[in-house]
Structure formats: structure tokens, C-alpha cells
Amino acid sequence: MESLLIKGGVPLCGDVTISGAKNAVLPIMAAALLTREPCVIRRVPALSDVKFMGEILTWLGAQVRFEGDSVCIRANKIKGTGDYDLIRKMRGSICIMGPMLGRLKKAAVSLPGGCVIGARPINLHLKGFEALGARVTIANGYARASAKRLIGAEIFLGGRAGSTVLGTANVMMAATLAEGVTVIDSAACEPEVVDLANFLNAMGAKITGAGSPTLTITGVKQLHGTEYEVIPDRIEAATYAIAAAATHGEVTLRGARYDHLHAVFDKLNGAGVRIDRKGSAITVRRNGRLKPVDITTLPYAGFPTDIQAQMMALMTLTPGISIITERIFESRFMHVSELARLGADIEIEGPSAIVKGGKPLSGAPVMASDLRASAALVIAGLAARGTTQVNRVYHLDRGYEQMDAKLRKLGARIQRIEEQ
């Protein structure tokens, strides 16, 4: 098992190119199951999750070929059951269910795994499939849906923590081949959902309202192949922006979408971080002393839950008290105990973390519990005095393309080693 060894205290300086969005490319790859014709997807990041999705699609019968940062998928003939051993590794794999149901009118998918950040039930996915006319059951670790025909319907997908991103994606994909019109109310508005809708429209689907809480899908008889380039990863861009601020550096993000990062940049500005935009380049630098901020995670366009841990790492370096409230996942503070090993002073009170910042961090061995916690520990290690070893780096490889190599280009003293 691999670890990252970080010798902190070096400001990050230079340019970093932002990869394609992991949370966009996974459902887009799954959507290729909706047609027999080949689909070419570009700006595909080299991530373990993307590799797993390729293996899942291959197991289902699709031909999957990776070439550089592109993948070509041809699903001429597919089966309707997803393999447990593959799907259990990655929660995002549940998004194969909608395309299989849409095309085959049946789907059986093993209940998925993924990061341990709290309960993420798929009841809203299944509710949407039932509204389209499918019979849904859960038994023996599998969710199954089948229908003689799918009929458009009005579907409300709001949940306890707001809209569901993967649920919206799954129901939208199934509805593209349903008869009639489907209206999804309380649809997720995330850029990754918009990107999926744009991909489906490029395949011949008829979807309007993407990016708003109301999606309208007019079913078509069949979809065709297409070529498409996914959006840049806003979570990766935000992570490098926070790392620049934490190390008192200056980093230019190449290829990031400023309009996808308003909430993050607003909080960074409030924390004393300067954000300059010139064309497609965004430069991030510390603008004097850091200032504490209060943050509440919310569905898009609010502050992303996927940036909560990284922002907490920055606030541990900030003099004063910051309050970070997690409203999306109830168990997403598992990084707190590991940040404490580096010297952070953080108390948990219900859904909030009270960060008493400003004390210097010092290097120590730490254990990553999930993908975004891994990024937070790397940021803290970059800013800490001495050496930090981040163990279980496989979490990081799920969502950040060659993070250690990109950080080295920015001047970080970081290397990948085998855990002792």
C-alpha cells in the first residue's frame, strides 16, 4: 500500500492544469450504455474510479478503449446485471442503473460502496424509477428494476439533505428513452448534472432546464453515438487554490471554470485570499494575513461538501475561530482527528466543527479516511513544519489525477512511497 511523504513549509508557485471532472465523467461513461453506437469522451482523468467504471462497462458487455485522455465506448450488446465485486468499490457505479433500465427495461445492480462519509441511500433513485413505471425490489444485496415500458411522469426528487446528484442523473438517463414527457422537480443543479444533460442531448436526447431545479425530458425512441469533452473538475481546482493559500504561495489554475467556483472563491476572498482572473487562467495568492470564516455546506450553488475538509485545513492555519457546518453528510468530519495529530485545535458540536486556528502545524503520520479527507491532510502536510506521511493514498487516487506529480511541479517536496 502506498503513502505520500511530504516535507512541508514550501510555498506552492507556478501553473497547474485542471483535469476533467471525475463526478461528470463517471455518469457520462455510464450514459454511453444508452446507445449501440460508439461514444468518444475527451478530457477523461486517469483515476482509479474511472478505471473501475471502465471495468464495469466491460463486464456488462461494452467495448471500452482508453487512449490518452480519451475513452471510446461501444455498447452494442449489454446485459442487465452489474457485478458485485466491481460495483462495491465505488458508489458512483450506481449510475449504470438508469441507462440499463432505459435501454433494456430491466436492471439489477449490487448496492454500491465508496467513501465512508455517512449514509447515502438510493431510495430517491428507486422512487424515480417507480414513477416511470418500473417495479423495484431490493433483495440479497441487489437493487432490481424492471418494466414492460417506461412512461414519462412528474417526479419530486428532494431529500433530507436537498436534491440528489446521482439520483437526478440516474432518473434523467432512464427517462431519455421513456414514452412521453418526464418532469423532475427538485433536480440537482450541479455543473456535473448539466454536463451529463449536454452529453445526452448530443446523443439525441431532448432535455431542457439543466442547471435549474426543474428538468424536462421528452423521451425519444433511440439515442446515437457522439463525441464530447467533459468539464474541468471544480473540486480539484478548489483544492489547489486552497493549497496555494495554505502555503503562502501563488498558483495559476489553467482550464478551471470560474463560474463553477463562486461559493468557494467568495469564502477564500473573505479569508484574505486574492483571486485574479485573466481569460481562462485564475491566479490564487495570499492577500496578507488569513482571516477566519464561517462555512455551511449546501447543494450547488452553495459551498460544496467536497471542499469542506480542505477548507478546514486552511482554517487551522488561520488566527481566530472559524465554524464549519456540514449539512450534506453526517459523518464527514473523520479528518478532524487526523488534523489534530498535526496540531490542529478542532471541537465537534453536532453538525459543526469549531476550528481554533493560528497555531503552527507539525508533521506526523496520518491516516486518510476518504477522498476529500486525503486532500485536506495533504494540504495540512504542505503547510506543516517537518515531515508528514499520509497513509492510504489510494483514496486520493480515486479523485485526483497525479496529485503528487502536479504538486512537485509547483515546488512541493512530496514523494510516493510504499507504506512500512
Query: How much is the pLDDT for 112?
Result: 67
Q: Are residue 10 and residue 51 in the same domain, yes or no?
A: no
pLDDT tens for 17-27 read 999 999 999 99
Q: Are residue 238 and residue 155 in the same domain, yes or no?
A: no
Query: How much is the pLDDT for 330?
Result: 74
Residues facing 282 on adjacent strands: 253, 277
Q: Is the pLDDT of residue 116 over 70?
A: no
Banded pLDDT at 1 (limits 50, 70, 90): confident
Q: Are residue 33 and residue 179 in the same domain, yes or no?
A: yes
Query: How much is the pLDDT for 120?
Result: 46
pLDDT tens for 152-180 read 999 999 988 788 999 999 999 999 999 99
**CATH number where 91 lies:** 3.65.10.10
Q: Are residue 51 and residue 134 in the same domain, yes or no?
A: yes
Q: Are residue 188 and residue 50 in the same domain, yes or no?
A: yes
- CA nearest to 204, candidates 220, 181, 180: 220
pLDDT tens for 220-235 read 999 999 999 999 999 9
For the chain, the domain total comes to: 2
**Per-residue b or e along 21-48, where b marks 16 or more CB atoms closer than 10 Å to that residue's CB:** bbbbbbbbbbbbbbbebbbbbebbbebe
Q: Are residue 409 and residue 388 in the same domain, yes or no?
A: yes
Which residues span the domain enclosing 98? 22-223
Query: How much is the pLDDT for 24?
Result: 98
Q: Are residue 179 and residue 289 in the same domain, yes or no?
A: no
Least confident range of 65-69, 108-112, 348-352, 360-364: 108-112
Q: Are residue 102 and residue 208 in the same domain, yes or no?
A: yes
Query: How much is the pLDDT for 115?
Result: 43
Q: Is the pLDDT of residue 119 over 90?
A: no
Q: Are residue 69 and residue 172 in the same domain, yes or no?
A: yes
Domain boundary among 159, 194, 223: 223
Q: Are residue 366 and residue 250 in the same domain, yes or no?
A: yes
The angle subtended at Cα 254 by Cα 253 and Cα 256, nearest 5°, is 80
pLDDT tens for 347-387 read 999 999 999 999 999 999 999 989 999 999 999 999 999 99
Q: Is the pLDDT of residue 85 over 80?
A: no
Start-to-end CA span in the chain (Å) = 9
Query: How much is the pLDDT for 269?
Result: 97
pLDDT tens for 183-215 read 999 999 999 999 999 999 999 999 999 999 999
> Can 189 be counted among the known catalytic residues?
no
Pairing of the two strands 250-254 and 13-17: parallel
Q: Are residue 44 and residue 10 in the same domain, yes or no?
A: no
pLDDT tens for 304-338 read 999 999 999 999 999 999 999 999 987 689 999 99
Domain boundary among 192, 223, 254: 223
Domain boundary among 223, 243, 269: 223
From the number of C-beta atoms within 10 Å of its C-beta (0-12, 13-18, 19+), residue 351 rates as: middle
Q: Are residue 147 and residue 72 in the same domain, yes or no?
A: yes
User: Could you give the CA distance from residue 175 to residue 158 in angstroms, rounded to a whole number?
Assistant: 17
Tell me which of 39, 72, 95, 115 is the catalytic residue. Answer: 115
